Structure 1
Amino acid sequence: MTPLYRLLTELAAHKAVSRVAGSFAKSRLSRKLIPLFVKAYNIDASESEKHLQEYESLNAFFIRRLKPGMRPVDPDPAALVSPVDARVVALGSAKEGVIPEVKGQDYPLEELLHHNPRVIHYRDGFYIVLYLAPSDYHRIHAPATGECVESEHVPGRTYPVNEFGMRRIRRVLSRNERLITYIRHTFGEIALVKVGALNVSGIRYVGGEPGFVRAGDELAYFEFGSTVVVLTETGTFTPRPDLAVGQKVRVGERLGTLHLPQEKMTAQCAPGEASSGTVMVKNTVL
């Protein structure tokens, strides 16, 4: 990164710059850019709940809702579903509290989760990093049915989280503004980390902080952004076999299966069933 480009990136990441960009995007002047935005990013406007001319600003279009039924949710209560329309940029198991090699960088969970005591439960859990391009639908939905037991807003910068930012800016996901939601489900807990980005100064809950949610319910939205990191507790998730880096996923699409940790599943087996190779959890065969 050249010194000039680094300086420009640092300046653009300041809240003041984000506020100026955000103010314009929310103004009526920006509505003239909506057709250009749709064309430039090849957005399927037919999915939107309103016609383009009904949106009063570029920001209003950016945080648009979709028509009912556009994103069916996997009905299996054990499914972990995608909370966003996005591209998978990294996935795998954390190693002793570190997410390894995300675009060449390691991310300590302590930093990503802002030193929350809950981090101990995620030390060797599964992670999925999802990047939302400007063309994507930008509302964030619950990845599982459960109770939102804690949320935290972490102030930070708004560095870009595109390919350049992820590779060249040191631990960008842990330095940018974040909104973290912890959801307690039947088999454990999920941490949903919503990361702001360049000119993405707003991560907003829908209707205030959520309580009980069902998989697919609206949780929040980005005002121009960004990245979502899904974390599962150690031993509570198995990804679907074909889930891979570079793959596009949509809201409600199954990412894999939630289950009890292996030691708890074994303890629940009847003595005569322990060696059968089949474990029954809440009437679901895993």
Structure 2
Amino acid sequence: MTAMDDIRPAPPAPAAPALPRWIAKLTDIESVNYALTNWLPRRSATQAMGWLSKVEQPLVAKASIALWRTFCDVDLSDAAEATWPSLHAAFIRRLRPGARTFRADAQQLSAPSDGIIVASGRIASDSIVQAKGRRYSIAELTGGEGEAYIGGSFVTLRLTAGMYHRFHSPQDAVVERVRYFPGDCFNVNPPALKRVDRLYCRNERATVRLRLDDGTPVLLVPVAAILVAAIRLTFLDTVRLLRERSDPVATLATPVAQGEEMGWFEHGSTIVMLTPAPFVLADGVQTGDRVRAGDVLFDRVVIEEI
């Protein structure tokens, strides 16, 4: 059982103001939500938001954090700090001690992040579910790494804009390969998942291949989204990787313990987690669940020899 690193606790942040009813009703209309978050110039909006979020001017920071908390479901009660110098600092906040506990045993895998399970199930072929009525190829998603996971299981975790944005190792393992894919920055919310074919394969993303102690591979695919669409890894300089290599692939041998921080999103996004057989979804885990980093997602089915 591995708890997150100790961080000095802070008093809880004040509650966010309620969203005006007419705005809430408008954004609840799927077609309007999709149009507002995908028809605008996505890359330009993302670059502008990335710049604004990092402005460390007290009035700008206070106003932008207040606006973020008004429009998003933000829970800061478990944050390590109560104030931040910028919106970006609030996005990538750390948590107070004990806020998450990773409790998978040697035959299980933990959730690498907080999130909502938007899709899950067995991997019967190269095609897996994006949303009802839409599927995509894991070979395309991963750049050809998907074959090892056919017969296994998957979970897709959506991190909303207000959630804790850091992700962690689901088990004791070694990070052996990272590949970064440049791409678009579509929103990854339900209205977009229902309308955009192969959305995860089109967005900016990375594949992070872990190798468990017994040699079993596990693949994490962090997928970026609109507004501050960057993925950052704690064990690899991703900016340098993109800048210096025409084919941004890194071969590594970096050990990570279960619960150890692996990286963060600079806004809400998605992690697709692929596991080979004999891993299956843990009892009670299903699409629609809201999980927290450290919750058990997968069990290894142990077949006893007769």
TM over 0.5: yes
* Structure 1: segments with no counterpart, 5+ residues: 275-286
Quick one: distance in 2 between partners of 1:221 and 1:131?
13
**1:244 and 2:299 are equivalent in the alignment:** no
Tell me the SS of whatever aligns to 2:271.
Answer: strand
Q: Which residue does the alignment assign to 2:192?
A: 165
Quick one: distance in 1 between partners of 2:260 and 2:167?
9
Q: Which residue does the alignment assign to 2:103?
A: 74
Q: Which residue does the alignment assign to 2:140?
A: 111
Quick one: distance in 1 between partners of 2:124 and 2:171?
24
Q: Which residue does the alignment assign to 2:232?
A: 204
Deviation at 1:199, TM superposition (A): 1.2
2:49 is aligned, of 15, 21, 24, to: 21
Deviation at 1:208, TM superposition (A): 2.4
* Structure 2: segments with no counterpart, 5+ residues: 1-29, 238-251
Q: Which residue does the alignment assign to 1:88?
A: 117
Deviation at 1:78, TM superposition (A): 2.0
Question: Normalising by the residue count of structure 2, what TM-score does the alignment of the two structures yield?
Answer: 0.77
Deviation at 1:239, TM superposition (A): 1.5
Deviation at 1:7, TM superposition (A): 10
> In 2 relative to 1, CA 171–140 (structure 1 residues): closer, same or farther, beyond 3 Å?
same
2:154 is aligned, of 119, 122, 127, to: 127
Quick one: distance in 1 between partners of 2:104 and 2:74?
27
Give the root-mean-square deviation of aligned CA atoms: 2.3
AA partner of residue 86 (structure 1): G
> In 2 relative to 1, CA 179–31 (structure 1 residues): closer, same or farther, beyond 3 Å?
farther
Quick one: distance in 2 between partners of 1:221 and 1:101?
22
- CA distances 1:116-166 after superposition (whole Å, capped 9, x unpaired): xx3221123211011111121010111111000101110000001101110
Q: Is the CA contact (8 Å cut-off) linking 2:104 and 2:294 kept in structure 1?
A: no
Deviation at 1:42, TM superposition (A): 4.7
- CA distances 1:45-81 after superposition (whole Å, capped 9, x unpaired): 23111122xx111111010000121001105122210
Tell me the SS of whatever aligns to 1:165.
Answer: helix
Q: Identity over aligned residues, as a percent?
A: 30
Quick one: distance in 1 between partners of 2:209 and 2:301?
17
Quick one: distance in 2 between partners of 1:162 and 1:228?
13
AA partner of residue 204 (structure 2): E
AA partner of residue 189 (structure 1): P
Tell me the SS of whatever aligns to 1:17.
Answer: helix
AA partner of residue 156 (structure 1): G
- CA distances 1:190-211 after superposition (whole Å, capped 9, x unpaired): 1100001111321001242681
Deviation at 1:257, TM superposition (A): 1.4
Q: Which residue does the alignment assign to 1:155?
A: 182
Larger deviation: 238-247 or 146-155?
A: 238-247
What does 1:94-105 align with in structure 2 at a 5 Å threshold? 94-100=123-129, 102-105=131-134
What does 1:227-266 align with in structure 2 at a 5 Å threshold? 227-233=270-276, 235-258=277-300
Quick one: distance in 2 between partners of 1:256 and 1:100?
18
Q: Is the CA contact (8 Å cut-off) linking 2:78 and 2:95 kept in structure 1?
A: yes
Quick one: distance in 1 between partners of 2:132 and 2:268?
18
What count of residue pairs does the alignment treat as equivalent?
Answer: 256
> In 2 relative to 1, CA 232–75 (structure 1 residues): closer, same or farther, beyond 3 Å?
closer
2:68 is aligned, of 26, 33, 37, to: 37
Displacement over 4 Å in runs of 4+: 5-8
